[in-house]
Chain A
Amino acid sequence: MDSPLLPEGAKRCSPTVFFFWTLPWLALLAWGGLSAFLCLYKALNQTNMSNVFAFALWIVFDLGVIALGAGAFFTGFLTYIIGRKELKDIINAAVIIGFICYTGALAMLGIDIGQPLRGWFIFWHANIHSMLVEVSFCITCYAMVLAIEFLPIILENRELDKIKELRLLGHNMHEIMAVFAATGTFLSFFHQGSLGGMFGVMYGRPFAARGGFYIWPWTFFLFILSAIAAGPCFTILCTKLTEFISRKKLVPEQAIQSLAKIAAWLLSLYMVLKIADTLGWLYGVVPDAGQKFMDFYREGPYGVWLLVVEIIICGIIPAIILMIPKARQQQGWLIFACLLNCTGIIFNRFVFIIVTLAIPVMPFDRFWGYLPTWQEWGVALAVIGYGVLLFSAAYRYLPVFPKEKELNAVAE
């Protein structure tokens, strides 16, 4: 039925199978749609957010997907600016994943601000001393860049490619993609950093506060480094998942290994700096604030185990696996390490957002815990539904993986 729209020479499942595949993800979207409607219609009392937890599940998801979407800008930077040609085989997937992550995050923020009709205030009545304003500017501009990077991939659809005007537009956009990639790198660098910088300047909360360089706390640099270490791993994971579901080889191993090796070095560097930062915090910020390490962990649901999971299990272990060539060349170890790395970055964002707010800062305060409502889960999980649907449609109708035909020639 839709065979004229499928990429030339590519084998895809029947429209019926594809329809059934989309159903659970459409259900997630419907749940998210209902939750979003309730939050907009009845206001944010539909969530468990409060004066204590002004940031909650949505911001954890936001920061998580933005970090995981960093694979787009970093792979673009490596491909178009540094000239790593082998990554051209995976750049389309990275761009689509980035587009999904950023547009999903923006949609979620639209609900989170409570009054989306006043969303433009942040641009027009900007508080230029706010790191979040810089983040808003950069995320919005970078979402535009990602849309521009995604457009030529859409225009490569078999039917659209027959239209001369669109084909020329796509080719011309490809030609100056390096300019957009460079702009995207600049924008991403600053918003990834400012997301971390915001926590570092919370001097009233010694759990998050940090020293730094000039106006930037160390968390500014750590957030950039952690994002560019985890983003490529998320791209690898999504690619491997697509290969597993479609039972095809989609990306040459050289591209995967190249990306994994770069991620390994970045993750190792990040872990060294993260451990140094944690020690600096432990022996500097904490005693200076008149507190002890265990003051932050003595009560409540968020214990020292979070630190162990984030730094050792989801940081040092994947860094070691990815650094060993023989280990990362084995599919199982590669996927395991990428999974741990991506989980680690979610843990890191969770700790900075939820645990920072859960720890008391006044003697009469108590330790808090946060439990999201079903509406919050609905909006957050809708991003996953949206992502799977968009990536599935892109894989079905667009030449996302340029080497697919070549790699599966014998099998087909």
Chain B
Amino acid sequence: MTPFSFEWLWNTEYTIFFGLLYVALGIIGCGMTFVIIKTVLQVFGFMRERHFH
């Protein structure tokens, strides 16, 4: 459900419940996007690779 769905109600309960869900999904999505962009930049030589171990 999104704020554009017909069942959506603009009240505290919906805002907290779905707000936290979208924050969690946002962190996961942003984290993966950051990792993928960084990897692409490193593959094409625009960013230096860090060495582990």
Contact = CB atoms under 8 A, between A and B. Distances in A.
A128 B49 CA distance: 45
Contacts of A305: none
A175 interface: yes
Given A125-B7, A148-B28, A141 B21 contact: yes
- Most chain B CB inside 10 Å of its own CB: which residue of A126, A128, A148, A186: A128
Interface in B25-43: 25, 27-28, 31-32, 34-36, 38-39, 42-43
B32 A125 contact: no
A168 B13 contact: no
A294 interface: no
A214 B16 CA distance: 16
A128 B43 CA distance: 44
A173 interface: yes
Interface residues of B, number: 24
Given A169-B39, A183-B24, A187-B24, A176 B31 contact: yes
A132 to B, nearest CB: 13
Interface in A146-199: 148, 164-165, 168-169, 171-176, 179-180, 183, 186-187
Contacts of A134: 17
B14 to A, nearest CB: 6
A168 B37 CA distance: 11
Given A123-B1, A125-B1, A175-B50, A165 B34 contact: no
B46 interface: no
A125 B18 CA distance: 12
A19 interface: no
A137 interface: yes
Nearest to B30: A179
14 contacts: A126-B1, A128-B14, A141-B24, A168-B39, A175-B50, A176-B31, A176-B35, A179-B27, A180-B28, A180-B31, A183-B27, A183-B28, A183-B31, A187-B24
Interface of A: 123-126, 128-129, 134, 137-138, 141, 144-145, 148, 164-165, 168-169, 171-176, 179-180, 183, 186-187
